[in-house]
Chains A and B, each alone.
Chain A
Amino acid sequence: MSELPVLLAPRPLLSGGRDPASGLFNGTVLASVLVALGISITIGAARAQAGVVGAPGVATLLVKWAPLILEGFLFNLLVSVLSMLAGTILGVWLGLTRVSQTAMLRRAASVVIQFFRNAPWLVLLFYCMFLLPFSIALPFATVPLPDVAKAVIGLSLPVMANVAEIVRGGVQSIPLEQWESGEALAFSRRQILWMVILPQCLRRMIPPWMNLYAILTMSTTLISVVGIQDSMTLARAALVAEGRTDLFIPMYLMLLSWFFVYCYPIARWTAVLERRFRVRI
């Protein structure tokens, strides 16, 4: 008797199937392709330019501008770290409010989370840039609010909402019996949360949190749109200064590869952690 074809397990189209390993493989391939593409374009462009007497090669120009753009890139990373920090602190607080015992607080937190999770990051950024004042008047001093601070606030809002969701999911993944046995031992709700529930769900919350950070880092280039001098702005300025169309693709490719080199290990590490935590519950 032959098997019915319908009942056969679907076969993977490519040689894949080994999930984690092939993921790593794909990543490596992608990285090599990017690098190869970068080199070939650079060399090709350099060759094309070679005919023009006195004009420097694309590679020379990239080397010339790299330090400045790298500075901008580091600034992007700084913005990403600050936004993540602020977003995490606010998000943990918001997420805990989301699982509060008071129905009204829960509902209010839910509205805030839904609003900021479903708003485009760039729109939020624009709102913060144009609605926040230049300085904040406190009783004892006037604190200036530079554009960078506004941008960090703007980016930390969606981060806050996403961190809050991660916290809510983590807390709710712990069985209710843990709360009960904590209560039976005369712990307060706050004590149960901090000593019993959060330590147990922390490991589960780290991978999605890191994933969020990688997304945020890539999104920091949005701040160039609202007029902050980040790596994107500087790259554009360099292109304008040189006025060479053949520089366009290699320049952005260089910047892109830096982001890739920074974010890809985070993504890999996240995947590794996810796998490890899935096994050990």
Chain B
Amino acid sequence: MPHDAEALVVLSRVEKRFGDLVVLRDISFSVARGKTVCIIGPSGSGKSTLLRCVNALVPVSSGSIRIDGIEVNDPALDKIALRRKVGMVFQQYNLFPHRTALQNVMMAPIHVLKQDRREVEERARRLLARVRLADKERAYPGELSGGQQQRVAIARSLAMSPLVMLFDEVTAALDPETKKEVLFTIRELAEDGMTCMIVTHEMGFAREVADHVYFTEKGVIVEHGPPSELLVNPREERTRAFLDQVL
């Protein structure tokens, strides 16, 4: 496995149990700065849990996750410090419905990073323009389509200037048309050099955007490799069976 000095996220022997149920078993890999990895696999294979462990929404049972020098599996972990470095976008967008699109983007930088309001507002406007929603800054989440809400969620996460972005099946709740807008936005981000960890069921997208793809099943990494190999010519029978099913 690639363990170069530029690794931003390093997971080693990560295990997660919920009671007797083992959700993640012996997960080890790393993500280099500026690279994009995609995690694919059947539902219930622990992909979402893996992402949630990375930003400490879910504590790991054993093993180590290091992000830019911060050990996540540390009882004295400063979760706030960790989460400043890690952005996350959810399947259900989870925007704050009582705030406008612009306010959603501005809240965390102002209240968490204590940055100057005017500066933040300017940056928030730029971010909304970047996700092509400059004209929607005054809209409330309820007035936006799913794809638009998801792009606001991406802008909101980017406003914290994270080192790495986690995407948890962000297009699973969207129709094919709006899916494209969101995937396009993420691809642009990846091309601009953002480090991304993406859990997705979109194989075409994974092939375009990923530097490395991991196939997980039942909480273990079955196989990994560059998308051109893993998605086209998998070595493992299980990977092939999964790809046959989804493609």
* A contact residues vs B (CB 8 Å cutoff): 177-178, 180-188, 191, 195-196, 199-200
Q: With A185-B83, A186-B83, A200-B98 as given contacts, are A180 and B90 in contact (CB-CB < 8 Å)? A: yes
Distance between Cα atoms of A195 and B107 in the complex (Å)? 9
A186 touches which one: B80, B97, B98, B153 (CB < 8 A)?
Answer: B80
Q: For the complex, would chain B's binding face be called helix, strand, loop or mixed by DSSP majority?
A: mixed
Q: Is the beta-carbon distance between A181 and B94 smaller than 8 angstroms?
A: yes
Q: With A186-B108, A188-B80 as given contacts, are A177 and B94 in contact (CB-CB < 8 Å)? A: yes
Distance between Cα atoms of A186 and B163 in the complex (Å)? 14
Q: Is the beta-carbon distance between A196 and B96 smaller than 8 angstroms?
A: yes
**Residues of chain B contacted by A177 (CB below 8 angstroms):** 90, 92, 94
Contact residues on B (Cβ < 8 Å of other chain), bracket: 20 to 34
CB distance from B166 to the nearest CB of A (A): 8
Distance between Cα atoms of A56 and B28 in the complex (Å)? 97
Distance between Cα atoms of A130 and B45 in the complex (Å)? 64
**Residues of chain A contacted by B96 (CB below 8 angstroms):** 178, 181-182, 196, 200
**Residues of chain B contacted by A191 (CB below 8 angstroms):** 111-112
Distance between Cα atoms of A184 and B95 in the complex (Å)? 12
* B contact residues vs A (CB 8 Å cutoff): 55, 57, 79-80, 83-84, 86-88, 90, 92, 94-98, 107-108, 111-112, 153, 156-157, 160
Q: Which A-chain residue is minimally distant from B95 (CB atoms)?
A: A181
**Residues of chain A contacted by B84 (CB below 8 angstroms):** 186
**Residues of chain A contacted by B57 (CB below 8 angstroms):** 180, 183-184
Q: Is the beta-carbon distance between A195 and B94 smaller than 8 angstroms?
A: no
**Residues of chain B contacted by A187 (CB below 8 angstroms):** 108, 111-112
**Residues of chain A contacted by B108 (CB below 8 angstroms):** 185-187
CB distance from A167 to the nearest CB of B (A): 17
**Residues of chain B contacted by A183 (CB below 8 angstroms):** 57, 79, 83
Q: Is the beta-carbon distance between B90 and A186 smaller than 8 angstroms?
A: no
Q: With A180-B57, A195-B107 as given contacts, are A186 and B112 in contact (CB-CB < 8 Å)? A: yes
22 contacting pairs across A/B (C-beta < 8 A): A177-B90, A177-B92, A178-B94, A178-B96, A180-B57, A181-B95, A182-B96, A184-B87, A184-B88, A184-B157, A185-B108, A185-B156, A185-B160, A186-B83, A186-B112, A186-B160, A187-B108, A188-B80, A195-B107, A196-B96, A199-B98, A200-B96
**Residues of chain A contacted by B111 (CB below 8 angstroms):** 187, 191, 195
**Residues of chain B contacted by A188 (CB below 8 angstroms):** 80
Q: Which B-chain residue is minimally distant from A186 (CB atoms)?
A: B83
CB distance from A176 to the nearest CB of B (A): 10
Distance between Cα atoms of A181 and B90 in the complex (Å)? 8
**Residues of chain A contacted by B153 (CB below 8 angstroms):** 181
Distance between Cα atoms of A180 and B98 in the complex (Å)? 16
Q: Is the beta-carbon distance between A185 and B92 smaller than 8 angstroms?
A: no
**Residues of chain A contacted by B97 (CB below 8 angstroms):** 200
Distance between Cα atoms of A178 and B84 in the complex (Å)? 18
**Residues of chain A contacted by B112 (CB below 8 angstroms):** 185-187, 191
Distance between Cα atoms of A51 and B183 in the complex (Å)? 94
Q: Is the beta-carbon distance between B83 and A184 smaller than 8 angstroms?
A: yes
Distance between Cα atoms of A135 and B90 in the complex (Å)? 57
Distance between Cα atoms of A185 and B55 in the complex (Å)? 10
**Residues of chain A contacted by B83 (CB below 8 angstroms):** 183-186
Distance between Cα atoms of A185 and B88 in the complex (Å)? 8
Given A186-B79, A186-B83, 4 other A-B contacts at CB below 8 A? A184-B90, A185-B83, A186-B112, A187-B108
Interface centre among B55, B86, B96 (most CB of A within 10 A): B96
Q: Which B-chain residue is minimally distant from A203 (CB atoms)?
A: B98
Q: Which B-chain residue is minimally distant from A191 (CB atoms)?
A: B111
Interface centre among A185, A188, A196 (most CB of B within 10 A): A185
Distance between Cα atoms of A177 and B141 in the complex (Å)? 15
CB distance from A193 to the nearest CB of B (A): 13
CB distance from B94 to the nearest CB of A (A): 4
**Residues of chain B contacted by A182 (CB below 8 angstroms):** 96
Q: Is the beta-carbon distance between A180 and B94 smaller than 8 angstroms?
A: yes
CB distance from A204 to the nearest CB of B (A): 12
Q: Which A-chain residue is minimally distant from B82 (CB atoms)?
A: A186
**Residues of chain B contacted by A195 (CB below 8 angstroms):** 107, 111
**Residues of chain B contacted by A186 (CB below 8 angstroms):** 79-80, 83-84, 108, 112, 160
Distance between Cα atoms of A195 and B96 in the complex (Å)? 10
Distance between Cα atoms of A182 and B160 in the complex (Å)? 12
3 A-B pairs closest in CB distance: A181-B94, A186-B83, A184-B88
